[in-house]
Structure 1
């Protein structure tokens, strides 16, 4: 019964990768949204 409850490791230990696809997508999204916001302010700035 204890053999059924224990989970074996499915992936071998690896060194941490320097390039993460999820991190790249996150930064590209942030930069894209920031660029669009800045262009929108330059086109029609908020005036009181």
Structure 2
């Protein structure tokens, strides 16, 4: 009976992901690509 009442843990304990280097690199890449895309869309052609 105690096996049915206890809640089994399916995942190991993890530290809270407040600052993750991989997440920061991912967001910097997304922001950089997004900025380049926006600038490319707004750029006027230099030829007449």
For residues 1-48 of structure 1, the aligned pairs below 5 Å read: 15-44=15-44
User: How many pairs were matched up?
Assistant: 33
Could you say what the CA RMSD is over the residues aligned between the two structures, in angstroms?
2.0
TM-score by length of 2: 0.56
Spell out, residue by residue over 1:1-48, the C-alpha distance to the aligned partner (whole angstroms, 9 max, x if none): xxxxxxxxxxxx663241000000000000000000000000148xxx
Q: What 5-or-longer segments of structure 1 have no aligned partner?
A: 1-12
How far apart, CA to CA, are the structure 2 residues paired with 1:41 and 1:15? 41
How far apart, CA to CA, are the structure 1 residues paired with 2:14 and 2:27? 25
Q: What 5-or-longer segments of structure 2 have no aligned partner?
A: 1-12
